[in-house]
Amino acid sequence: MLRRLPLLLLAFMVVLGLVLERVVYGTLLWQTKIPVVLLLALAFRRKS
C-alpha cells in the first residue's frame, strides 16, 4: 500500500477538485476526470 500512496493522494486531489468546482464555482468538470479515474482504478485493481 505504501507503494501506491502517491496514487491515493492523486485520487484525493481529484475528489477535492470536484468538490471545489461544485461548491466554489457551481460547475462540475467531470468528463475531463474520466481518464485519470479509469487509470487510477486500473492500478488499484492489480494485486499488490
CA distance 20 to 23: 5
Q: Does residue 15 interact with another protein by CB under 8 A?
A: no
Q: What angle do CA 14, 17, 19 make, to 5 degrees?
A: 115
Q: How far is the CB of 12 from another protein (least distance, A)?
A: 9
Q: How far is the CB of 24 from another protein (least distance, A)?
A: 7
Contact of 7 with 44, CB cutoff 8 Å? yes
* Interacting residues with another protein (CB under 8 A): 2-7, 9-10, 13-14, 16-17, 20-21, 24-25, 27, 29, 31-36, 38-40, 42-43, 46
